[in-house]
Amino acid sequence: MNAVDLINKTKKNVPLTDNEIKWLINSYTAGELPDYQMSAWLMAVCFNGLTEEETLALTYAMRDSGDILHLDIPMTADKHSTGGVGDKTSLIIGPTAAACGVCMAKMSGRGLGHTGGTIDKLESIKGFRTDLSVHEFEDILHKIGFSVISQSDSLCPADKKIYALRNATGTVNSIPLICASIMSKKLATNADVLLLDVKYGSGAFMKSRSDAEKLAAIMEKIGKSAGKKCRAVVTDMDIPLGKNIGNALEVEEAINILRGNERGRLYEICIDLTADILELAGKGNRSECVRMAENAISSGTALDVFRKTIELQGGNPAVCDDISLLPHSRFSYKVKAAHDMKISGFDTEELGMVSLLLGAGRIEKDDRIDMSAGIVMNVRPGDCIMAGETIMTLYSTICSDFSEAAVRAVNAVISEKINYHIPLT
């Protein structure tokens, strides 16, 4: 076999065999296939897609590129989101489900494209480690029931390499590649319960609900075929999830939710998704599981789990009580309304790109992240504001010139001009 033949087959919509896909993945993982050839194949997949059989073979080949976890725990659960702007749900759902008695063993990735990664967010907490050994991971799960581990060289190494390459080559937005990336990691961690949160809308990789439903269907099918209790749900990402975008800023918002200080759309989504996990794990019917999730937050037990997880993974648990211990930016810029306006919505992907410009994500795969960078939204769709009022605030430590980011931020706001003093009908 040779890479050029396989690239050409995918380019011509000729399905690859299971063995050809295994060869491609194993050769790249071993360093025998160069980045430029794998990039060419990934681009061909982006243009032409893969069959369901090819997607399944790709998922298993990536899973089998490394070890598969076999934890000494009766039942574990995992939740994964396909990514979105401001999506910090894992930081809330993980400790909440654990507080309800479900062991949440999560392997996560870093930021990809215009969306942030759970690992990057957690590493904004000083000292927090995700490069845990399997023994450390298992020990934390036994002690508190929630831990997040990053992809190691032994767990799904093919996906770790391909994930970074996709981010740097514009090959992120592809249903089979997203499916194989997510499901190979999920099957490698070998959780018994899998909840898959598939986002759609302007801030997600899947722009249309129909594409999100296709991705959800094939991921759920793969999960069930592997013997897992698996559910894929489709949720909206047409507006940022929560008001904060950026690593430390999102940790701050997650902590405020776990403290019981904030309600709203982010809280409700986290309660619903936690209830899905509890239901799959056999903790009760739907209404019982919703009440359990709500009680875990209102009682403070979910926050206690998060605090203990931070401590066990080397971080400073005091951030749960004093968010000023999180990284804070040196510079900020208020984006203000030029005239009276009613906010109709946002180009959420563009807001993600603004956050990227500020330093909150990676443009190149080896870029360092400014943990303090990001955006705090001051308005929501439906709000009416006067000229001069703040729409959002931009934050950064590495960027002191906000001119480009501010222009793009303004362009990301969808609004209509109004006379604020005339009652709306």
Residues serving a catalytic function are: 80, 159, 166, 181, 185
How many CB atoms sit inside 10 A of residue 389's CB?
A: 16
DSSP string covering 299-323, please? TSHHHHHHHHHHHHTTS-GGGGT-G
Comparing C-alpha atoms, which of 396, 13, 25 is closest to residue 1? 25
φ/ψ region of 127 (left if φ > 0, alpha if ψ in -120 to 50, else beta) reads left
How many CB atoms sit inside 10 A of residue 366's CB?
A: 7
Return the percent helix, strand and coil in the chain, to nearest 5.
45, 15, 35
β partners of residue 146: 104
Find the angle CA(112)-CA(117)-CA(121) to the nearest 5 degrees. 145
Instruction: Specify the pairing of strand 390-396 against strand 374-377.
Output: antiparallel
Place of tokens 């681009």: 43
Comparing C-alpha atoms, which of 176, 173, 188 is closest to residue 221? 176
Find the angle CA(118)-CA(160)-CA(13) to the nearest 5 degrees. 115
Tokens of 313: 């993974």
φ/ψ region of 56 (left if φ > 0, alpha if ψ in -120 to 50, else beta) reads alpha
d(CA 288, CA 255): 24
**How many Å is the maximal CA-CA distance in the chain?**
71
Comparing C-alpha atoms, which of 13, 21, 24, 15 is closest to residue 48? 13
d(CA 248, CA 231): 30
233 contacts 197 by C-beta, under 8 angstroms: yes
Looking from the CA of 111 toward its CB, the CA atoms found within 13 Å total 33
Comparing C-alpha atoms, which of 231, 245, 73, 60 is closest to residue 143? 73
Burial class (CB in 10 A: 0-12, 13-18, 19+), 263: exposed
